[in-house]
Amino acid sequence: MRTADTDKELVEQALEGRVEAFNLLVWRWQRQLYNFLVRLTGNRSLAEDICQEAFLRSYLSLKELRERERFASWLFRIAVNLYRSDRRRPSPLAAAAELNDAGDSAGEAHPMSREMLLTIRTLISRLKPELREVVLLRFFHGFHFEEMAGILDCPVGTLKSRLYKAVDELRAGLESQK
Amino acid sequence: MNCPDFKNLIAERVAEELTAEQKAEMDAHEKSCSSCRHAVEEWQKMQSLLLASWPAEEPCRPFFLLNPTRPGSWLETARTWFGTASMATVVGCLLLLAILRPSVSYDHSQLSINFGPARGEAGVMSAQAVTQTQVQAWVRQALEQATAVGPAETPPTSGTSSIPSNTVQARQVTQLGVQVQMLKENQSALWRQVEQHGLYLQSAWRGPSDQIQLQRQRSSDRP
């Protein structure tokens, strides 16, 4: 099993019972998924729980994955559904507080001012969940609109309008901070 | 390409997801429209800001799966057990129905469910025929044996005159009567026929009884 195996090949190997193939998929996508959930929830422990649950569920229902080359989209979809159904979702204010704590360590190693960094994170956390999901998937994780449509179970046109609306709100928020 | 169409494709433009034709059209429009060119720059700036505001971090722990069951196997196992249990339940019910063969009858505002070979009129008729035929055969056999056996084979009993050998056969006829009575109790639909059988048996019983009486008289008349 080479590390350069594609997601599709690893999924097929995992379906044959090779757990190490699936763990390689975990290794490949855990950082992205974890960071997506941290940015989405604003809570690291919640993000860890959802991340672990998403990997477990994806493993148990791996047979249901039709397009095996789209494992990442399918994994993110599971995570989004878990997030939406989780009643422990923190309020935007709580998420902002968590982000401010995180900003203490992040601002030191980054050229952006700590103030600007916290401002942007706060603005992201105050977006409506459906707008925040689109912003994170598009800007931070580089998903195409078709992939996002599968992850968020939403038409492409709706996603684009949400993205533009989110960018307008972020821009307006930044303008108001000046 | 006009400005609304251009702005509708800004996200794809920044992410370089355009087709060659779209890219050419947008490049041409961007050269001639400062507003759209500014919109693209603003979008790129926003993207850079967002990425810079939240760098990725390593998860606190790995999320590897340790010794999980095979994908879908727990579900398959559950399905197998559920399916097996369901099938076993269905087969068990069918076997019970086949063994007990309940018959449902509604007579005089009373619903009764009986367990036995009778089911429906056809089943009742066939049960009648079997019962009647069987009873007749038993009684006939008992009579033949009772008339064929002589007095010398009859075991003596205390306090009574010697009973001819047909006592055993008489006992068999009695048993037949008991069986008929059981049939009578178990099958309400055959009540009348069973009663008739009972009368038939009584008349058949009289035969051996009369013969027993006759034998007794003969033995008492002997010196």
Residue in B43, B56, B71 nearest the CB of A59: B71
Question: Higher-confidence residue: A71 or B74?
Answer: A71
Supply φ then ψ for residue B105, to 5 degrees: -135, 145
Residue in A14, A106, A167 nearest the CB of B46: A167
Band (pLDDT 50/70/90 cuts) for residue A118 is: confident
Residues 6+ apart with CB under 8 A from B39: B6, B7, B10
Q: Contact at 8 Å (CB) between A36 and A48? A: no
Neighbour-count burial of A51, counting CB atoms closer than 10 A to its CB (0-12 exposed, 13-18 middle, 19+ buried): buried
Taking the Cβ of residue B4 and every Cβ of chain A, the question of whether any pair is shorter than 8 Å is answered with no
Asked if residue A106 has pLDDT above 50, the reply is: no
Residues 6+ apart with CB under 8 A from A151: A73, A76, A77, A80, A137, A143
Question: Which residues from A are below 8 Å from B11, CB to CB?
Answer: 138, 145, 160, 163-164
d(CA A26, CA A23): 5
Q: Which residue ranges make up each domain of chain B?
A: 3-51, 120-221
Supply φ then ψ for residue A143, to 5 degrees: -75, 145
Q: Contact at 8 Å (CB) between A166 and A127? A: yes
d(CA A107, CA B7): 33
Question: Higher-confidence residue: A99 or A112?
Answer: A112
Query: Is the CA virtual torsion B52, B54, B60, B62 positive or negative?
Result: negative
Determine the pLDDT at residue B95: 84
Query: Which of A30, A33, A101 to mutate to test binding with chain B, by most B CBs within 10 Å of its CB?
Result: A30
Q: How far is A94 from chain B (nearest CA, A)?
A: 17
Buried b (16+ CB within 10 A) or exposed e, B140-165: eebbebbeebeeeebeeeeeeebbbb
Question: Which residues from B are below 8 Å from A164, CB to CB?
Answer: 11
Is A60 within 8 Å of B57 when comparing Cβ atoms? no
Band (pLDDT 50/70/90 cuts) for residue A177 is: confident
d(CA B101, CA B118): 8
Is A34 within 8 Å of B67 when comparing Cβ atoms? no
Q: pTM of the entire structure? A: 0.59
Cα nearest neighbour of A123 on chain B: B50
Determine the pLDDT at residue B214: 63
Strand pairing partners for B106?
B111
Residues 6+ apart with CB under 8 A from A54: A33, A75, A78, A79, A82
CB contacts < 8 Å between A and B, how many? 103
Q: How far is A87 from chain B (nearest CA, A)?
A: 22
The helix/strand/coil state of B56 is coil
Alpha helix locations (H) across A68-155? 71-85, 92-106, 114-126, 129-135, 145-152
Q: Contact at 8 Å (CB) between B173 and B139? A: yes
Q: Contact at 8 Å (CB) between A133 and A40? A: yes
Phi-psi group of B16: left, alpha or beta (phi > 0 → left; psi -120 to 50 → alpha; rest → beta):
left
Residue in A17, A117, A120 nearest the CB of B70: A17
List chain B pLDDT tens, one digit each, 223 residues.
889 999 889 999 888 888 999 999 999 999 999 999 999 999 999 999 999 888 898 888 888 877 666 555 566 566 666 777 788 888 888 888 877 777 777 666 666 776 655 444 444 444 444 456 666 676 677 666 655 544 444 444 444 444 445 556 666 666 666 666 666 566 655 566 666 666 656 555 555 555 566 666 666 665 5
Determine the pLDDT at residue A90: 62
H-run or E-run covering B103: strand B102-107
H-run or E-run covering A155: none
Asked if residue A79 has pLDDT above 80, the reply is: yes
Determine the pLDDT at residue A104: 46
Determine the pLDDT at residue B92: 84
Residue in A19, A61, A135 nearest the CB of B68: A19
Asked if residue A122 has pLDDT above 50, the reply is: yes
ipTM comes to: 0.83
Taking the Cβ of residue B67 and every Cβ of chain A, the question of whether any pair is shorter than 8 Å is answered with yes
Q: Contact at 8 Å (CB) between B26 and B6? A: yes
| Domains, chain A, ordered by start | 1-89 (1.10.1740.10)
Taking the Cβ of residue B52 and every Cβ of chain A, the question of whether any pair is shorter than 8 Å is answered with yes
Supply φ then ψ for residue B119, to 5 degrees: -155, 115
Taking the Cβ of residue B8 and every Cβ of chain A, the question of whether any pair is shorter than 8 Å is answered with yes
Asked if residue A170 has pLDDT above 90, the reply is: yes
Is A56 within 8 Å of B17 when comparing Cβ atoms? no
Cα nearest neighbour of A45 on chain B: B60
Question: Higher-confidence residue: A134 or A98?
Answer: A134
Q: How far is A141 from chain B (nearest CA, A)?
A: 10
Is A60 within 8 Å of B68 when comparing Cβ atoms? yes
Taking the Cβ of residue B223 and every Cβ of chain A, the question of whether any pair is shorter than 8 Å is answered with no
DSSP string computed for B137-167: HHHHHHHHHHHHS-GGGSPP-TTSPPPPTHH
Is A55 within 8 Å of B57 when comparing Cβ atoms? no
Taking the Cβ of residue B222 and every Cβ of chain A, the question of whether any pair is shorter than 8 Å is answered with no
Question: Higher-confidence residue: A5 or A155?
Answer: A155
